[in-house]
Structure 1
Amino acid sequence: MCTFAKEAVYTHGHSEAVLRSHSSRTATSSAAYLLPYLKPDMTILDVGCGPGTISADLATYVPQGHITAMEYVADVLETARACASARGVRNISFSVGDAQALPFPDASFDVVHAHQVLQHVADPVQALREMRRVTRPGGLVAVRSIDFRATSWCPESPAMDCWLALYLRVARGNGGTPDSGRRLHAWAREAGFDAARVQCSASTWCYHTPEERAWLGGVWAERTLHSDFASSATKNGFAAQDDLQQVSRMWKAWAADEDGWLTMVHGEVICWV
């Protein structure tokens, strides 16, 4: 039985650099494992939609259906609304809610989707129970989450080692589970899903071209200094400002290295209800 903190703080926050990073996500890059199961008339709940790029993409896969994009911070939904409007997506609505207490009746959706959510909530098993509750019989819950501990890079870098150790400390200090990707299948069983009806997979984000390195190194260099991650690191005594400056410089140096390579691993589960 897992135990969790009563409350969790979202490690990244919603700074401009974070939203810029998250806005790069698409259904293809972040929900490819789910796409083969979508049908044109399905109703989808996207839990923790952030800036809404994945939600707007998913809406195009259900042109006769509907998607509800939910986020716990109302301000972020304005960004998601703007994204949908700019793309001309109309079969979408927006809702404020808590993943651990979803504001919807039982059996409301054909599909419940959550990308990079369970690593940040205080009780991921309870969140999965709620996702199961609001899914119709025969529907599915699809969850993807990173395993930060499995992140790998080249060249070898003590500074990168320090960044990862710091990130893990900050995320855990905020009540999160930064290696959640490897735990999804166990959490799904604990949440009441039939193990025989849980499909597991894994996928990666890989960055190695000059353009990819410049983008990733740039956003992390900025996020290290100007995000809730930075605030949590200093407030909780995990790092001083000079330490964060060093990490930020490390990201820029990695981005400039023609041998630079970084891979982030994600766990995925599709759970049939």
Structure 2
Amino acid sequence: MTSQPQSGQSGPQYTHGHHASVIKSHSWRTAANSVGYLLPRLKATDRILDIGCGPGTITCDLASEHVAQGSVVGLDASESVIAQANKTAKERGISNIEFVAGDAYHLSYEDGSFDVVACHQVLQHVNDPVGLLKEMKRVCKKGGIVAARESDYDGFVWYPQSDGLDEWRRVYRTVARGNGGEPNAGRMTHVWAKQAGFTNIKCSSSSWCYSTDEEKKWWSGTWAERVSVDGSALGKTALEKGVVNGKEDLENLAKAWREWGAHEDGWFQVPSGEVICINE
């Protein structure tokens, strides 16, 4: 549940893109570390739709470990990412799963097709999160669950203090909003759910935390790659749109990430807001 769906209308640009550094980061995600708020509500026979499934690591966990008697469909806009997700499922020998490329604003499923419809770190990247939630609601059965988890960039906290990471956050927020997204989606997801017509909404929050040497090396390394002009869409867009003054600015952002990752006391928290919406 990672990659942004594209609408049929002129929609936003996915801020991260599908660079190898982005897919590497998304492939770290598991059902346990990313959708723990949803897992206790699942039944073994559920049929799940995972919107914006990305490389499919969460999706595969759901199919193999949590709904073994049911089935899971993972949907993403990127054909290349879907191919990788299919490869992952095949390598893990998971048969109750299907990955498809498609438009999350115009799902090709009948009303009430799924017991659970979920997305992870998707609403923050789209220009009509309410419309997307409405479509998720449409294909969810009555009494079923629509679930979403979104991070909140203004809530990111790190140690030690870093002017370079402060600048990175400014650059990211500017690019993301310029692309039509909302980087502080975590605090707003419950409001979007109300606007989509849900009345039974359960809110929660949880965080990722990076503090071990291995975690810091991995987290800082993926972001140092992403902000590079030769890396993900983030750095390229920041340069093209004048959010940074030149390649040197991007190099300084990457340097700030590497310095944080090498600090013996480095610590980084990524909070996310979560909603469980009962489709009444």
**Given the two structures, how large is their TM-score scaled by the length of structure 2?**
0.94
d(CA) in 1 for partners of 2:214 and 2:124? 28
Does structure 1 residue 91 correspond to structure 2 residue 91?
A: no
**Deviating 4+ runs (over 6 angstroms):** none
Instruction: Output the CA distance in 2 between the equivalents of 1:100 and 1:268.
Output: 21
1:11 partner letter: T
Alignment match of 1:203 (pick from 203, 206, 223)? 206
State the distance in 1 between where 2:124 and 2:108 align.
21
Aligned equivalents of 2:103, 2:123: Cα separation in 1: 12
User: Contact conserved, 1:100 with 1:123, CA < 8 A, in 2?
Assistant: no
* 1:46 and 2:50 matched: yes
Aligned match of 1:259: 265
Equivalent of 1:22 in 20, 26, 38: 26
Which residue of structure 1 aligns with residue 232 of structure 2? Answer: 227
Identity of aligned residues (%): 48
The amino acid of 1:259's aligned partner reads D
State the Cα distance separating 1:35 from its structure 2 match. Answer: 0.3
Moved more, 183-192 or 97-106: 97-106
Structure 1 partner of 2:276: 270
State the Cα distance separating 1:88 from its structure 2 match: 0.8
Per the alignment, residue 4 of structure 2 pairs with none
Given residue 214 of structure 1, which amino acid in structure 2 is its aligned partner? Answer: K
1:14-49 residue CA offsets vs partner (Å, 9 max, x unmatched): 011110110000000000000001111100000000
Please, which runs of 5 or more residues in structure 1 have no aligned partner?
none
State the alpha-carbon separation in 1 of the partners of residues 76 and 260 from structure 2.
Answer: 33
Match for residue 248 of structure 1? 254
- Root-mean-square deviation (CA, aligned residues, Å) is 1.0
User: Which residues in structure 2 correspond to 1:15-164 (within 5 Å)?
Assistant: 15-60=19-64, 61-164=66-169
Shift of 1:102: 1.8
1:210-261 CA distance string (max 9 Å, x none):
1111110111111111001111111111012111100001111000001111
3-state SS, counterpart of residue 218 of structure 1: helix
The equivalent residue for 2:176 is 171
Shift of 1:103: 2.0
SS at match of 1:264: strand
SS at match of 1:132: helix
- The alignment's TM-score, normalised by the length of structure 1, stands at 0.96
Give the letter aligned to residue 93 of structure 2. G
Cα separation, partners in 2 of 1:187 and 1:6, compared to 1, 3 Å: farther
Task: Please say if residues 6 and 123 of structure 1, whose CA atoms lie closer than 8 Å, have aligned partners that are also in contact.
Answer: no
Distance of 1:229 and 1:133 partners within structure 2: 33
Q: Tell me if the contact between 1:99 and 1:130 (Cα under 8 Å) persists in the aligned partners.
A: yes
The count of residues paired between Structure 1 and Structure 2 equals 267
Asked if the contact 1:213/1:256 (under 8 Å) is kept, the reply is yes
Partner secondary structure for residue 220 of structure 2:
helix
The AA in structure 1 aligned to 2:72 is I
Name stretches of at least 5 consecutive residues in structure 2 with no aligned partner.
Answer: 1-8
Q: Please give the secondary structure, in 2, of the residue aligned with 1:145.
A: strand
**CA distance in 1 between partners of 2:128 and 2:237 (Å):** 20
CA contact (8 A) 1:6 1:122 kept: no
Alpha-carbon distance in structure 2 between the residues aligned to 1:30 and 1:142:
12
Q: Which amino acid aligns with 2:247?
A: Q
Which residue identity lines up with residue 30 of structure 1 in the other structure? Answer: S
CA shift for structure 1 position 101: 1.9
> What code does the residue aligned with 1:159 have?
G
